[in-house]
Amino acid sequence: MTEVFKVRTTKHTSIVNITQQVKDAVKRSGVREGICIVYVPHTTACVLINEGADPDVVKDMVYMLERIVPWNDPNYEHGEGNSAAHIRSAIIGNSRVIPIIDGGLTLGTWEAIFLAEFDGPRERKVVLKIIKEE
């Protein structure tokens, strides 16, 4: 089963919790055992799994990404001016695979799934592929 949903980001850099949308899709699929692939088909956005209980974790990630890959660097050559967004997305990656066990996502106690936007605000697409174990 494939499901697509959209996420509207509100800031230049936004990290949006999409866990509930993914959980709902898995439930609708009826798959009890299998995998869920979460994919973001964009070159300046990505998907990650990290702590969802404390919003300061997300703030710290944004802070450190800005230090590691600053938005403005005179040595970037990409003409659109969003090289940092491409680099950040490439470092984190645009997909995650999550096991489905007993009809639910196998996430750790504090884990959440996030769409990370690095060139917003925009509307982004999230593609889910839910595959039943044979």
Provide the 10 A C-beta neighbour count for residue 21: 18
Enumerate the domain spans of the chain. 2-132
Q: What is the pLDDT of residues 19-42, one digit of tens each?
A: 999 999 999 999 999 999 999 999
Residue 134's pLDDT is 85
For the whole model, what pTM was predicted? 0.96
Sequence-distant (6+) residues with CB within 8 A of 130 are 1, 2, 3, 25, 26, 29, 31, 34, 35, 36, 37, 100
Backbone angles phi, psi at 66, to 5 degrees: -65, -35
pLDDT > 70 fraction of the chain, expressed in percent and rounded: 100
- Sign of the torsion formed by the C-alpha atoms of 26, 31, 37 and 41: negative
The dotted CATH code for 2-132 is: 2.60.120.460
C-beta separation of 50 from 57 below 8 A: yes
